[in-house]
Homo-oligomer: A and B are copies of this chain.
């Protein structure tokens, strides 16, 4: 197994990345093919599909620790479930599966796919790309008890940002930052109003505080890259 492409995303760090694909449409990524696969022929006909699978490597997760269970953040971190009953990145074979929308196929200067709804850290190796087949892979009737619904989004009016910070930033970046923070990336079991959280989103460093009801952006600075 060796990568066929590298995934570029607005997420230089793991903290704050949406926990599944397709949640944050504004999160665009680019699948950049490695030289061996940088030929239009490899994706001939891919434009017939609106959605594709990216089979990825969880390259930034530590090697599997041999434990059979993990504590999914969706359950507040209190309950242990079997690794194979979760989507945790910490698993025996660190393979990720992301269903993304195919936005554009770029042929120049190199072969790349623009995708949206990404949930992976920048630099993620891509092992495979497959077209999504709705007639056999869309099963809306499937049961998934505790993981059956999209995560709750904080209402927009509970995300507060001082005007002088808001003015720094263009509409696309603001939209992405808003969608990500509404997911309340801080651990579900932590509502410490004195704690400041931070994440990097594209070219921005964002810092915020929160309580159970509200997120308050406190800092918004340009990243040094």
How many copies the complex holds: the figure is 2
Partner of A139, one of B23, B83, B99: B99
Kindly list chain B residues whose C-beta atoms are within 8 Å of the C-beta of A146: 48
For the complex formed, measure the closest distance between the CB of A134 and the CB atoms of chain B, giving whole angstroms.
4
Given known contacts A93-B127, A128-B93, A136-B99, is B43 in contact with A143 (CB within 8 Å)? no
- How extensive is the interface on chain A, given as a class? 35 or more
Nearest Cβ distance between residue A135 and chain B, in whole angstroms?
5
Say whether, besides A55-B97, A97-B55, A135-B150, A143 and B92 are in contact (CB < 8 Å): no
The interface residues of chain B lying within 8 Å CB-to-CB of A86 are 45, 131
Chain A residues proximal to chain B, CB less than 8 Å: 1-2, 4, 20-23, 37, 39-46, 48-51, 53, 55, 68-69, 80-87, 91-93, 95, 97, 99, 127-150
